Amino acid sequence: MYFDLFVPFPLPPTPDDGPSKKSKKGKGKAVAQSSTPAENIKRTCWTGLESRDKDAFVDRVSLAGHLGYSVVGLTVTPSEPSNQVVSCPFTLGLPFPDLDPRFTNSGGNNVGSSSKTPLVQVTRYHMRLDDNRIHPLTSQNTNALKAYDVLSVAPTSDKAFQLACTDLASPGPNQVSIITLPLHERPFTFRFNWKQMRQAQRNGVVFELLYSAGLFPPTNLAPDTQRRYRQNFLSNAREVIRITGGKGVIFSSGPGGDVNGLRGALDIVNLGTMIGMPSNLAKESISTTSKNVLLRAQARKTFKAVMSMPKLVPANADAEAEDDLNDDPALVPTDSPIDSEAKVQAVDGARAEKKRASEAISVPLLSLSTAADRPETPTKKIKV
């Protein structure tokens, strides 16, 4: 099972405020009439998207399934840092619910469901951090963030990277699970502090390397820009692997790459070994490590919550006596019940017998010494 946890999901365009202000006078009736049929339309996650963006997303997900990926992360990325959370469009339903085995009918009513390749779709909210430290990971937005399965940040400066590795990575209801490092844009002006990175890894946070935009940039860019993107990605990725030792690192495709920039699982393993990762960790970066990210992210929704009803066990003063009696069932007759006092007396008697038996055994052990160990005793000669 292979994972690609960064497949960008397009957002519908936001309406402009200018036309809405101009159409306040004399057009109230038209708005009321047009809103009546819109209520009958069933809203889905595709509502408001342009056909071009929808087709591009469908092609990318179908390519991921063709390359052997079993889990994809549908990522929602706001355009600018903000204190507000973009409402999760997947509360109305997933884009492909018939492919997700969690929502398919187990009764076998769907005839063509067996021929389709299963594809688990998880939701993810990705945000960018800068020097202003503006982020929506606050207690006021906890309920809105629970609609997403995974939270991730992309720091762009030294202060933002320190904030992501320390405060935002600490366990809590709004803990981030992934710290994304876009390594292709430019050589990082800040150093990767290994203490901060190790602290984030101890809290279960992983570092994500986006390869699509770095190795397969869009074709409309200049050749020099494409070459510079590849150089920046390879040099920065080697530095990350050197600090982390290849542990706690995952690979994802990410945005900004070519249409055919998605690669198969074995190609990603070869990429990991090329930048210095051991072969076993390179394979785990798209399988086991990514799976552990999703398992840890589930604990974020149940932080400081009761997982199951506790079972109250009363204290028993005669628990030790019952354990000793259970060890030797010959001391307890099965046909008649024994009260607590009789149990204690039986246990005391059993302990006394064990003590006497041990003393009786220890006496002959002292006499098992060899003749060489015994002291020589003088013998008297008798004259006859």
Q: How far is residue 295 from each of residues 98, 122, 308, measured CA to CA in Å?
A: 23, 12, 18
Instruction: Give the Cβ contact number of residue 370 at 10 Å.
Output: 6
What is the per-residue pLDDT for 343? 63
Backbone angles phi, psi at 17, to 5 degrees: -80, -20
What is the per-residue pLDDT for 358? 58
Structure tokens at 92: 């109305």
Backbone angles phi, psi at 54, to 5 degrees: -65, -45
May I ask the CATH class of domain 2-10+46-301? alpha beta
What is the per-residue pLDDT for 308? 58
What is the per-residue pLDDT for 298? 85
What is the per-residue pLDDT for 370? 46
What is the per-residue pLDDT for 19? 44
Nearby residues of 329 by Cβ (< 8 Å), 6 or more positions away: none
What does the DSSP assignment read for 131-166?
A: TT---S-SGGGHHHHTTSSEEEEEE-SHHHHHHHHT
Domain boundaries, the chain: 2-10+46-301, 319-354
Instruction: Give the Cβ contact number of residue 121 at 10 Å.
Output: 21
User: What strands, in cross-sheet order, belong to the sheet with 69-76?
Assistant: 2-8, 69-76, 120-129, 150-155, 178-181, 206-210, 249-252
What is the per-residue pLDDT for 111? 35
48 neighbors 15 (Cβ within 8 angstroms): no
Work out the end-to-end distance of the chain between its first and last CA atoms, rounded to an integer number of angstroms: 101
pLDDT tens series, the chain, 384 aa:
899 999 999 988 865 444 444 444 444 444 444 444 445 567 888 888 888 999 999 999 999 999 999 999 999 999 888 888 998 999 888 999 888 888 875 444 443 344 578 899 999 999 988 877 788 888 888 889 989 999 999 988 888 888 999 889 888 888 899 999 878 877 666 678 888 899 999 998 999 999 998 888 888 889 998 899 899 899 889 989 999 999 999 999 988 888 788 999 999 999 999 999 999 999 999 999 999 999 988 887 776 555 555 666 666 645 555 555 455 555 445 444 545 566 667 667 777 776 666 555 444 444 444 444 545 555 555 554
267 neighbors 257 (Cβ within 8 angstroms): no
What is the per-residue pLDDT for 293? 93
Q: What dihedral do alpha carbons 295, 168, 286, 125 form, nearest 10°?
A: 80
> What pTM was computed for the model?
0.71
210 neighbors 182 (Cβ within 8 angstroms): yes
Q: What single-letter DSSP state applies at residue 253?
A: -
For residue 347, give the amino acid letter.
Answer: V
Q: How far is residue 357 from each of residues 175, 332, 349, measured CA to CA in Å?
A: 62, 20, 12
Backbone angles phi, psi at 126, to 5 degrees: -115, 130
What is the per-residue pLDDT for 348? 76
CA angle at residue 13 from 9 to 17, to 5 degrees? Answer: 150
